[in-house]
Chain A
Amino acid sequence: MTAASGFSVLRPATLAEAVAAAAMPGAVPIGGATALQLDWAAGAARPGLLVDLTRCAALSGSGVEPDGGLRIGAAARLAALEHDPHAAAGAPLLLAALRSVAAPPIRTRATLGGNIAGRTGCLIPALLALDAALVLASAAGERTVPLAAWLAAPPAAGEIVVAVLLPKPSPRRVETARKIGRRAAFTPSVIGVAASLDIGPDGRIGAARLAVGGGPNRPRRLAESEALLVGCDVGAADWHALRGALLEEIDAADDGWRSRSYRRRVAAHAIVAGLGGAFPPHPGPLPAGGERGQGRALPVKGVRAEDRAIPLPLAGEGRVRALPEEVEVSHRSLGDRWRIRPDVQAKVEGGFRYLTEHRAPDMLIGRILRAGRPHARIRAIDVGAAEALPGVRAVVTAADVKGENAFGIVVQDQPALAADRVRFAGEPVAALAAVDAATAERALSLIRVDYEDLPVVTDPEAALAEDAPRVHEGGNLLTDLHFVRGDLAGAWEGCAHIVEATYLTPRQMHGFMETEGGFARPELDGGLSVFAGGQYALRDRMQLARILGLPEEKIRVVTSPTGGAFGGKDELTVQPALALLALKSGRPVRLQLDRAESVLSGWKRHPMTIRMRTGCDAAGRLVAQQVDVVADAGAYASLGPGVLETALEHACGPYGIPHVETRGRLVYTNNGLCGAFRGFGANQMTYAIECQIGRLAERAGLDPFEMRRRALRRPGTPGYLGQTVGPSERLDEMLAAAEASALWAAPRGLSGDGAMITGIGFAMNYQGTGLGSIPPDPGGGRLALAPDGKIEAAFGFDEMGQGALAMIQAVVAGALGCDRDDVRPIVGDTALTPESGSTTAARATFVAWKTARTAGPALAADLVAAAALRLGRDPADLAVAPGGIRDRRANDAAPLIGFAELAASLDPLPQASAAFEFPKTDYTRGNARFLFISGATLARVAIDRVTGMVRVTDIEQHAAAGPIVDPAGYLGQIEGGAVQGLGFTLTEDMRTSGGVFLEKNLDQYLMPSIADAPERMTTFALEDLDPGDPFGPRGVGELGIGAVTPAIAAAIADATGLWPATTPIAPEAVLDALEGAG
């Protein structure tokens, strides 16, 4: 919601006008202007005058020149060029390059001239290889310059690109163009290459044009390497020498995401391989499936991949399921159970309203002033000028906080607005509300804060030193957890094999698509309503009451619906600022963070350093394990202590290890905020322990199934901490399902064209649900007949996208015997919904199911009794049915009396409630879970031999979490979790430097796109429970992400021998392994 900048625009129609306009002081010529917002966000100066060249006739059109060359107007849109017949005939290389530029909607607007003019465009290497020339115009006239020469000279002010000339192509050519990025599509360029060889009639290379460029790399031709090729027979070129020459000649940038040497290597490989030369050398025999890593002992051996396009059936297309007892979770195979979720139609049509989208005429616009520096003392804040600006209705600082200026779910160490110190760059210092966005933005710039910078604490390990600067007065060590069982020191001696490794995991961002925001409004009774996406309205209210110094009853908090949360809206986000502003201004106030502010200020996943030493005896039985975790807490605690404790609870995974020692330390730094995130520490630890087991299996010469079979815990035995564990454990079954998977029959090893090496791996998934034995973990809900005849099912948890509404309808309809459409779910509103606990830890499914089971029969009995009275029937003859109450014995299901009619006759209307604690274990010396769910995840990867980049072709998940309540919701959680886990594994990390995030927005922080999503994803569920299991369906919200990382790691190990210990996995490390340098 940036205020529009005050530039003016000229739209010249002729070249003369365009040249004149471009020569005006401060003029910036533009094409599609698709990069302007990006540039402005990066701090580029806003121009006073834009010259829109797209309406200039002289810059449009394309055609063949008399000499057979191609002329393309600079204003040609990239998408139009993709379908341009002249370009298709004369420059297929350009067409290939076009498809790697940005994404389709950008290409519909971006122009060829725009891509060239910035000198960083991804088309430049291809244009260099095509020997392009530019037609340029300025006040001095027109000139035509070879692109290479134009790039070598400094930009000439006031000169515009009119057209691109491509010489007539030689009839016989070998060409290649490739952009190497950081994810599969829509990616910043790591480096781009292109090459074009003209082949003479004698088969010799007449001319060679090789080029690199793109993104931060200086675009240029590679003359020395070209010279090496000229005159050679194209069939007998010395590719080895060419690779060497390219490595010498290519210069590349190092921007922190990829090293200079990596860029050089992949550019050289890409040119050589693209021209038909050899792939990079590989040490020893290439793995043709089953020769390395996990492949050694897997069921299918020696299968060679025939091609990159592997003909496997799509999900749901009749693939045999892995275990006969499992069901494939899909629309196709569960058609009779598949229901349409109640909110999806409005979401597709665009009519669905989120809490950030409410508008009212008297609503003010709020903005928050962030520190912008990671660690400083505040000497003074002066809001006078901002307050004096006309249109500003309220400015708040810490001085306006009437209650405690401290919040936090576990420890209240975080101010609502910073008072005397800021501890991270996104810390809110002040907030204001104004009549419009432009005024709010202007007012924000008028607030003066006098800071005294303090030493920045960035490295958690260094922060533990005695003399390290302190983030909080009490020191930097927030949590220190220790657990010992058995005799570790003695146990190592009994180990035949020991594996020791350090696993590093990233600062992952939740990346919910709806950024934090909402609105707050003062109520007539002196109270306040706050509408902002969250995960636990009652707790948000309690925290707000504490901050505002208001009684909780005076505050209404509405937290649903929200556009994704994943844990990132569990703690307070913008609510304190909204509330303070509404109270001070006496007006409704709305605000929504833009993405950059969300990135800067939002919660992230705790980065962890997990040192793990694991040993087994000669027979492969696990004997001992030592684990040491150091986690970056960021600036404030939030749920960090819980995350660390959960990580450590999963330190042995589902395996019994007699001698164990774990230590975990959570350390304050100035690296932004860390908090709850799907998986809650368990997925980081699962990555580590599953890799350890895979590596030990290799050492012990066991196949990975047998290794695990020997180590898996037995159902009914005490849990890792010694606690009692709930029923219906399904670990053996999940292991069997993984072993029986059809995926093992997929091709592995080298692809037929030599470009890829594929591998398959798997990991076990084991996760506790609920908050554990120590924190309060209340559940409950209320069922009632509403005046309009709907069964209202009210729960305090939230609809964040996961499908809570459909899930509630399913369990309530199931318990009552009515139709799902008879049920109206109400969620996430302290005025309307009871205590249900937080929407985290996969607990909502159980809470709703248990409520329906407990309160459902009572409500049904009331409904039946009331109907019996009305109808003059014996209640024993009646039952709840879809739409109303029916005769229990009648064959036709038509109700004798509808719910609406029944409701109209009743006062008061019947209702029934339930309140209970989430099932807990007896253990209280530490926090321990009672209900565990299990699964197994398989992954198949294809590794690019040119880049080392990993593409996940298949993910197959097996889940045992009790009955499926709603198939679409279940499947969505597993699949969505898988791809979020894929991002954690391959592309996502919020890197910091000096306490400042290096990724500012979604152009740099790369979540998986559809091109990164696996080609096939298959989900199987084992639904059965032990006889008499009273705990019903478990939630699967955290299962999908649980074991994706170690499954991918195992697949990489299968393909390359490398067990990657750092995520996101660096392609450079994989390439090193492929080339034997690792």
Chain B
Amino acid sequence: MTKNVVVIGGGASGIEASRRLRDLGYSPVLVEKEDHLGGHLASWNRLFPQMIPAKDILKSLTSDMKGIEVFLNTEVISINRLKDSYVVKFSNGLSAQVKAILITTGFTLFPAQKKQEYGYGIYDRVITNADLEAWFNGNKDKRVTDPQVIGFVHCVGSRDEKAGNRQCSKVCCATAVKQAIEIKEKFPDAVVYCFYMDLRMFGRGYEDMYLKAQKDYGIRFLRGRVSEVSEDINGRLVVKADDTLLGKPVKISMDLLVLMSGMIAPESNMELSKMLKVLPGEDGFFSPANAISNPTLSNRDGVFFAGAATGPKTMPETLSEGRAAALEIDSYLKRVGD
């Protein structure tokens, strides 16, 4: 069992790292608490900015899992240090003794109902980014019925001290613009608004996607944070914001409002960080010892990170970190002798 590495979290980063470790001659144990692999990738429909189907990426990621021990519906219950290795006990009754542990626990979506003023779970026509991806994937949703006016609310539970999350979730601006284009394709006559504070179109091709949304799809970008949402007598939504560029408060009646829930750290990170004695940051995400020179290294020997476990990331960034972590673990194990 000495050539084992435990990888905690079976999302894109965990799968990619496990495959690379396997290719390097190790026998990774991949632990996933849900009943399927893929993490959030398994819930998305198409990925920005190239609009590549998420299921294609997931399929190619999971096509060859030979040599990887996958434990589904499983969590880590304890981790103990034994000289230069770790003894990891799993909820399925098994355990492993390893010299390297990789944390790929990713993120969870901010629970939109916590922002009560936006009415998620209260009004019939308010959904989240994840609900809309599910709808694009063919799931029926009564809340999406022939909308004439549609709004996207950026920064839901992000950049919000009162929601307990100061951080920007990085990917939801691009997701909002992507989804605005996609919903306009489904309902060409609808008027679509994006309520943003700053549009974070940082990646290659993102600005082009924004331009396309304006020029080819007529998406209306309104700079102002939505302050509250209510319902009128006919069940239509009334959305209030300050049009900060016009300098006037506006009220818009809508048939569908999509909340861009942000990325927050999974609650179970606290438990894990206690077991591993690695400190999470103030935001709950794990903190690399040096986030610039090597984001996959923790402050503890033999503990590594990859993907959104250390903060919001895009899919290509997540995958690259999975590969980087595999290489880093390989060098480490060669150094300490596996």
- Real binding pair: no
Spell out B's residues near A (CB within 8 Å). Answer: none
Spell out A's residues near B (CB within 8 Å). Answer: none
